[in-house]
Amino acid sequence: MDSKVQEFDYVITGAGSAGACLASRLTEDPNVTVCLLEAGPADKSPAIHTPAMIIDAIYSDDLNWHYDTSPQKELNNRELYWPRGKTLGGSSSINAMVYIRGGHVDYQAWKDLGADGFGWNDVLPYFRKSEDQQRIVDQFHGSGGPLCVSDLRYVNPLSTAFVRAGGERGLPHNEDFNGQSRMGVGQYQVTQRDGKRCSAAAGYLHMDVKARPNLTIMVETLCRKVLMDGTKATGVRIRHKGTDSDIIAKREVLVTGGAINSPQILMLSGIGPADHLREMGISVAVDRPGVGENLQDHLDTGIAFTGKTARSYAYSLRALPKQITEAVRYIFTKHGMLTSNAAETGGFASTRGEDEPDIQFHFVPAIVAARGEPRSKIHGITLHSYVLYPDSRGTIRLASTNPEDHPVIDPQYLAKGHDLQTQINGAKMALDILEAPAFDDERKALHAPENRPQSDADWEAFVREKAETLFHPIGTCKMGRKEDEMAVVDPHCRVYGASNLRVIDASVMPRLVGGNTNAPTIMIAEKLADIIKAGG
């Protein structure tokens, strides 16, 4: 143990979407000192900054935690790969950059579940504050914020064909999924600036912010636990280059590890379900049964066809000359195919014919190889669909008291409610769209599923064998009212039963938003930064 103890006003335990934002906003006050911890390395890898290298980032040994779920009973006991960002910017440094806030109704649902102050009219100013919108000027969008939101510089013609195909199947064209309505199909906006990824680190921790004397950023530094004096958080214990040391937080510890790491850190610190903590030999500081509960995620099913042409993305000899040309083009201009995020277009629909969607689509002009498989040499197209509001809830539990051991992740996919049938209905809708006339000159043979389903039983078998995560875990330290024993934090993200301790990240979301989760996570951090500054 290093005997040298450092002190800061705030210690932030992860430099992901929330942590990067908080560190930047809190140090706008030169009299406030902040230490920002990050278990992974600095965000220097080309796989982060070059959008088309997203697959390299997702499978990188250096940039993510490489989590796996426990065997999923309803998915033929398969263990699913859960990549999560482990670098400055967190998962915003390895995601598909799709900028989606969710629906207005999502935040009313949060409010109804006890997240007071998080209704749509409450959160819209913080979405706008974070945003530097490059195209749309209206009451829903902001300009001049740290997070650049732009149209893609390159859109594959097959992605444009998807929008036409959606129209042929009765889905309206939507120019802005973050405006009045999400319904319909169109081109996704992305978190990119000048053809490069704009992660939370790129947006909030740029050179001017890093140069602030009141901000200390420590990379390759693991937060092992929060130090507790009774029920008061006093600092954190860290490990850096094999040496443990303590850092004192004079005001507060802000836990920002995300939906997996944050409950793990709390439980290692003695905050969580008392029975589980005692089972692991951990002294109970705060009995909070909701820690690690309420895990939610979007489960994805992909329908794919092989292609007749080389217009799609693949590692084939046919495509090699164009790929070389595009690589050179990107190096010199930051335009072209390497600015693609893969999921260039998509949309929202209702399988029940209602006004609000229950399914989201991501169209990819490629056939993406699964983990452990060689890169796809087959040209083709894939339409991913997932249930926006699953009923199933899972858990995070400690596997050991070693912070370096992955926790037990059990999302309990398809365990409850209408999840399976809605997943099947979404997959059917995806197949119908891919068989629209817009794809007649591209669509060759059905690739996934290998055999055309003839019944719901066939569709069920396909979903159980092939469904995967869409990388949106939330909810494991949920926000709620004090009388809700499963709530972990109050609407100011203060941990119930503890003092000087907050959790601020996707884990506090009480319910999944109907869309991607990066933008809402940043919104939460923006709002909490103002609350903290105001002494709330």
Please report, for residues 11, 487, 505, the alpha-carbon distance to residue 272 in angstroms, rounded to integers and kept in the order given: 21, 11, 17
Residue 239 phi, psi dihedral angles, 5° rounding: -125, 120
- 72 bridge partner residues: 78
Q: 416 Cβ partners below 8 Å, 6+ apart?
A: 390, 391, 392, 393
Amino acid at residue number 73? K
C-alpha 193: how far from chain center: 19
- Is residue 472 part of the annotated active site? The answer reads yes
* Three-state secondary-structure class, residue 174: coil
- 316 bridge partner residues: none
Q: Where are the alpha helices (DSSP H) in 13-92?
A: 17-26, 46-49, 54-59
Q: Are 194 and 377 in contact (CB under 8 A)?
A: no
Q: 480 Cβ partners below 8 Å, 6+ apart?
A: 113, 114, 115, 290, 486, 487, 488, 489, 490, 510
Q: 1 Cβ partners below 8 Å, 6+ apart?
A: 243, 244, 245, 246
Catalytic residue among 49, 406, 472, 492: 472
Q: Where are the alpha helices (DSSP H) in 42-114?
A: 46-49, 54-59, 104-112
Enzyme catalytic residues: 472
